[in-house]
Structure 1
Amino acid sequence: MKRCIQCSVAYTATDWACPGCSFAPPIIDGWPAFASESAISTSGFRPEAFAELAALEVGNFWFQARNQLIVWALKRHFPELRSFLEIGCGTGFVLEGIAQAFPQAKMAGSEILSAGLPFAAQRMASAELFQMDARRIPYDSEFDVIGAFDVLEHIEEDESVLAEIHRALVAGGAAIFTVPQHRWLWSSIDEHACHVRRYRTGELREKLDRSGFHVELETSFVSLLLPMMLASRLSRKDAPEQDANAEMRLPRILNQLLLGVMAVERGLIKSGIRFPIGGSRLVVARKIS
């Protein structure tokens, strides 16, 4: 069910014209824009970063390993997934991976910056794509699962986003997140990436509890590689602003080696091991109220 971001009327329709106030989102670069004031620029992300990500994601161990972990978690908890919305879909790399794993599911993706949507459309022509501020989701009780992967750390009002996700989920629906973790890993790379936080252990769980969710799965990842990551961050701690993707550009052999380490880690997580610390955190939470 759609929800008007102007008057909050919930309605069912094939288009976006609100029957209550007649509001319809403007079309920017070919997509509906529900937060047109932020479609061109925002403090949370850099528009030029989409081209950088599109060139990096396919061959990089971290993006590949994160996708594999996300798909595993979705298959474990939602084997009958029918509808999925990704908040902050970026270039569509994660959305494409989920669509391949769940070809029967209806896919939707949103971005705060309209500059990302052409990249996502190239990968996911069949998905419904639109520009949106995650603090105002134009749906009520619509999706089985909503995902946000390395997105919440860009938003000051992350609990407002969780409340909106809760409202946009069907009864018994769920949300899945990945976030960067541990404040002691903060470096100039986080600043260049426009992060407002790295989550402390348990922080996202606490916020989900307050937002009407029950956490079903929670684990750190990038745990076996944490010593390497910590060394990299410490070496940059007092350095001037740096390229957020600098540590992702690796020689091919090293990249393959790290992908293998992440595969071992994923196997341990699948066997039931939950890592207490790691560069990132994966959380799956069910809507309960």
Structure 2
Amino acid sequence: MEKGFEEKYHKIEKEHFWFKSRRNYIRKLLAKYPKDATILDIGCSSGILLDELKQDGFAVENLYGVDISSIAIENCKKNGIPNAYVMDAQHIELRQKFDIVIASDCLEHIEDDKSALKNWNNLLTNQGTIMIFVPAFMSLWSHHDKVNMHYRRYTLPELKNKMEHTGFKIKKSSFWNFFLFVPVYLFRKIESTAKKTENNTDGDLIDKPFGNYFLTQLINFENKLLQVLNFPFGISVFCIAKKNMALHPTKDE
């Protein structure tokens, strides 16, 4: 991501509705896992999620983070996550195998996403779970994607297809941030037509306390609905998957 955007990102990532509500959803998903599970957060940024998982009772020595930004990893270590490393997400080299791998808004930053998915598959234990969130629909492409240095946005069939062809078996998939899709779509189309993005280095990041609180509550409500249904569209798309053991030799980890 561009330098100006990264500086703003690190200032607001802990409380910003988008990141906070997504972390809340991931934490609910992980609540059923044993507290000694080994967890890798790819694109961990300042380690906010890993720190929250530590507070949830997960063993800190089993929490790992990688990020291509040295600033992010420095912040991560300051937040009490010692197993944090500057590393290219496409070529993660760790001896550890993981019960859970999380990649939130990371895959779209990688030119060869299939190569990255193969690498991430190899990082999982035989019974491991991966959770991948990516931005949805090229029709939502905007200046926000440019300052984030995205290569693409995904459809749900595209993400599922790429994951299945790189050794994953999908357990749940859905769009996320359903309620904000229409207003964000309209905003980006108006913004694009008005061409008022040239000097904007913040993308769509907002830092308004009241709006942030309201949107956090809205998406937390959406998170509860995701426990019993899937959404037909949204600003993001995600897949939760296991390693497809039919494509891997069976052996003890």
Q: Establish whether TM, by shorter chain, passes 0.5.
A: yes
Percent identity over paired residues: 26
Letter of the 1:222 counterpart: N
Q: 69, 87, 93: which is aligned to 1:132?
A: 87
Cα RMSD after superposing both structures: 1.9
| Structure 2 counterpart of 1:145 | 100
How many Å separate the matches in 2 of 1:58 and 1:71? 14
- Give the number of aligned pairs: 242
Contact in 2 for aligned 1:174/1:284 (Cα 8 Å): yes
Q: Which structure shows the bigger proportion of residues in helix conformation?
A: 2
1:102-144 CA-to-partner distances (Å, cap 9, x unmatched) read 4236111111122221111121x24301111122221356111
Letter of the 2:17 counterpart: F
Gaps of 5+ in 1: 1-44
1:224-264 CA-to-partner distances (Å, cap 9, x unmatched) read 11112112211222424464644332432222221221122
Matched, 1:268 2:225: yes
How many Å separate the matches in 1 of 2:57 and 2:189? 40
Matched, 1:108 2:64: yes
1:84-113 CA-to-partner distances (Å, cap 9, x unmatched) read 111111121222223323423611111112
Name the CA shift for 1:237/1:273 in 2 (closer, same or farther; >3 Å): same
Runs (4+) off by over 6 Å = none
Contact in 1 for aligned 2:12/2:207 (Cα 8 Å): no
The normalised TM-score by structure 1 is 0.77
Letter of the 2:14 counterpart: V
Larger Rg: 1
How many Å separate the matches in 1 of 2:199 and 2:234? 22
Gaps of 5+ in 2: 249-253
Matched, 1:73 2:29: yes
Structure number with greater CO (CA < 8 Å, separation at least 6) is: 2
How many Å separate the matches in 2 of 1:81 and 1:153? 30
What does 1:64-213 correspond to in 2, within 5 Å? 64-76=20-32, 78-79=33-34, 82-104=37-59, 106-123=62-79, 125-139=80-94, 142-213=97-168
1:52-102 CA-to-partner distances (Å, cap 9, x unmatched) read 2221122221111111111122235x3455101111111212222233234
C-alpha displacement of 1:186: 0.6
Q: Secondary structure at the match of 2:89?
A: coil
Name the CA shift for 1:241/1:151 in 2 (closer, same or farther; >3 Å): farther
Letter of the 1:206 counterpart: N
